[in-house]
Amino acid sequence: MTHIEHHDFEVEGIRLHDRAAGDGPPVLLLHGWPTSSFLWRDTRGPLAKRLGGR
């Protein structure tokens, strides 16, 4: 799996965190409460291969 970059930012007083990896087309994976981005741990690799990423 490629290196994952982490970013924290704030929008209208709400603190958000994102993870970015690869160089293919952007894909937004959202999780609901009370889960976390850990939910997508088994999805990122196969999705990257299908979209032509690393």
Domain limits, the chain: 4-50
Range from 10-14, 35-39, 41-45 that averages highest in pLDDT:
10-14
Percent of the chain with pLDDT over 70: 91
Compute the C-alpha angle 1/4/36, nearest 5°: 100
* Of 13 and 25, more confident: 13
Confidence of residue 1 (pLDDT cuts 50, 70, 90): low
φ/ψ region of 39 (left if φ > 0, alpha if ψ in -120 to 50, else beta) reads alpha
pLDDT tens, residue by residue, 3-24: 888 999 999 999 999 888 877 7
